[in-house]
Structure 1
Amino acid sequence: MNFEQLDQLMRVYETTTDQTVLPNIWMVARIDGRSFTRLTKEVMNYQRPFDQRFRDAMLSTVSHLLDCGFPVLYGYTQSDEISLLFSYRCDVFGRKLRKYCSILAGEASGHFSLAIQQQASFDCRICQLPTDQLVYDYFRWRMEDAHRNALNAYCYWTLRDQALNPQMAHDQVAKLSVAQKNELLFQHGINFNDLVAWQKRGVGLYWRNVDHMGFNPQTQMPTISQRRKIHVDLELPQREHYTALLRDLLDR
C-alpha cells in the first residue's frame, strides 16, 4: 500500500466525526480556565477576592484572541472565563468545531501562561445561537453571573477574615438572600454598589476605529487616517444599555 492509499484509508478515521456549524447561526466561544482555584490561591497567591494582576493577564489573553486570526466582534471576560462572539459570516476552517475548540484553547493557554509565567490551561466549547436575541441573552447571562459571583466572593472572604473556616463561610453565604448579603458587607464597611464596575460586571473588549496622526513626506503635511484598535471597556453598561451596545457590535 503506497502513501496515497494509506493516507486515504486513515484520513477517514480522523475526519469522519467532524461537526460543522451551519451557516446563518451566531457562534460564541466559551473559554474557561482549568483548575484555576488552585492556580490563583496556591500557586500565584493572588489577592482575594479580586487581583488586578490576574485581571490584566485575562485582558491580555482576550486581546490576543481578538487578533489571532478569527473575526471576533466582541470579547467578554469575568473571573477565569472568556466569551468570544464571532462575525455572523465567519467561515474560518469551514466552521469546524474541533478546529475552533482546539485552537482557541491552545492560544488562550499559551498566552495566559506566558503572561503569568506559570503553566495554565483553558478548555473551549462553542455555543450556537440562531437569533440576535439569544446573543444578547447570552452576554447578559454572563454579566449576571459575574455580578452574582462578585457578591458571593466578597461575602465569603469577608467571613473568612472573621476566622470562619472555608466550609462554614461557604454554608453561611449559601443561606443568605441578595439583600442579606449586601447587609453583611455593609456591616463590615463594604458598600457593594460602590465597588468598581469591572469586578461586578466583567470587562468587554471590542474593535474601534481611532484617528491616527501621520505625516506625508511628499506634501510635507500632516495626515489623519483611521486604524482599528481594541477598546477595553472597564465600565460596561447594564440591562437595555448593554443590549444596545451589543446590537451595535452585531451590526458591524
Structure 2
Amino acid sequence: MKEYEVYSSLKVPKNSKIIVRLDGRNFHQLARDLDLIKPYDDNFYNIFSCVCEDLFKEFSPIFVYAFSDEISMLFDNVPFNGRIEKIDSVMASFASSSFAINYNTKFKKPPAFDSRVIPISDDDILEYFKWRQDESWRNCVNSHGICYLKSKYSNNVSNDKINGMNLSDIHELLFKNGINLNDIDTYKKRGIAVYRKNKKVVGFNKKENKEQISYRSYVFTDWNLEKFSKDFFRRIGVLK
C-alpha cells in the first residue's frame, strides 16, 4: 500500500536553503474567543515569542521572523532529509502544541497552524524578509486604523472607510487624532526575530594563571528589530 502515499517521496533539493512559513489558522476567530486587546495584545505576543523560541530550539533554523500570526524560519540544514510532507506536518503540529502549552488556557477550538516550504537562494533571502517586514508594517497601520475607526463608527462603516484608504491616509488620520505610530513599540511595526548571538565570557586559565576571554552563543529574541538590510543579516551570520 506504500504506493498510495503519492507525495511521500517529494523532497526539497539537496544542499539548498529553505524557508518554512507557518500561519495561524483562523486566528481572527481565536482572537475573539480569547478576547484579545486590540490592536495589539502584549500577552499574546509574549506567548508567540515563546513559540518562536521553542521552534528555534527544536529544529535549529538559523533565523526566525514573526509578526501577527505568521512565523518564517530560515534553514541552511534542511531537516527530515528534505521530506516536504514531514517538514510541513511536524512543524505545524509542533507550533500548534507549543502555542497551546504556552498559552495555558482552555480554547473553544484547538489552535492550529498551516505550513509551506519555500526554497530560496542567498540572493533572495533579504528580499523575502524585507517583503514580510513590509507586510508587518502594513498590518500595524491597518490594525491601528481599524481599531480607531471602530471606536468612532459601527463595524460596517469602519470597514467601508478603511477599504477606501491607503497606508498614508490611515497614518495621517491617526496622527491628526493623537496617535503617532512612530511612538509605538518597535515589535508592533517590524515584528520580532530569534537568532543566535555571542556573549563574552571571562574565565580564568589556571595553567597560564591569567584571565581568558571566550565567546559563547545563546538564543536571542530581538524585540527591537532594525529595518532588514544586508548589513543586518551579515552581522548575525545569515549572509556572508
Compute the TM-score of the two structures, normalised by the length of structure 2.
0.88
Task: Tell whether the 8 Å contact from 1:66 to 1:72 is kept in structure 2 after alignment.
Answer: yes
1:146-193 per-residue CA deviation (whole Å, 9 max, x = no partner) reads: 00011011010001111x222221221121132221121012210112
Q: Corresponding residue for 2:54? A: 64
Tell me which residue corresponds to 1:150: 140
Does residue 250 in structure 1 map to residue 233 in structure 2? no
* CA deviations over 1:6-43 (Å, ceiling 9, x no partner): xxxx23333664210112432001001111111112x2
Aligned-partner residue type, residue 113 of structure 1:
A
Deviation of residue 213 (structure 1)? 5.8
Residues 98-109 of structure 1 correspond to what in structure 2 (within 5 A)? 98-109=85-96
5 Å-filtered alignment, 1:124-163, equals 124-129=115-120, 131-162=121-152
Residue number in structure 1 paired with 2:193: 204
Displacement of 1:136: 0.9
Please give the alpha-carbon distance, in whole angstroms, between the structure 2 residues aligned to 1:166 and 1:243: 42
Match of 2:27 in 1: 36
Matches within 5 A, 1:157-176: 157-162=147-152, 164-176=153-165
Residues 192 and 94 of structure 1, relative CA distance in 2, 3 Å threshold: same
Q: Which residue of 2 aligns with 1:27?
A: 18
Shift of 1:117: 2.0
**How far apart, in 2, do the equivalents of 1:159 and 1:251 lie?**
42
C-alpha spacing 1:222/1:13, structure 2 compared with 1 (3 Å): farther
> Could you say what secondary structure the match of 1:67 adopts?
helix
Q: Is the 8 A contact 2:142 2:167 kept in 1?
A: no
Aligned partners of 1:77 and 1:224: how far apart in 2?
A: 34
Amino acid at match of 1:46: L
Largest Rg, 1 or 2: 1
Partner residue of 2:169?
A: 180
Matched, 1:84 2:73: yes
Show the counterpart of 1:189: 178
The residue type equivalent to 1:12 in the other structure is E
Gaps of 5+ in 1: 1-9
Corresponding pairs, count:
235
Classify the secondary structure of the residue corresponding to 2:199: strand
Contact 1:26 1:135 in 2 (8 A): no
More helix by share: 1
**SS of 2:22 mapped into structure 1:** strand
Q: What percent of counterpart residues are identical?
A: 29
Equivalent in the alignment of 1:122: 113
Give the match's secondary structure for 2:174.
Answer: helix
- 1:28-77: CA deviations, max 9, x gaps? 01001111111112x21111000110111110000000010x23110000
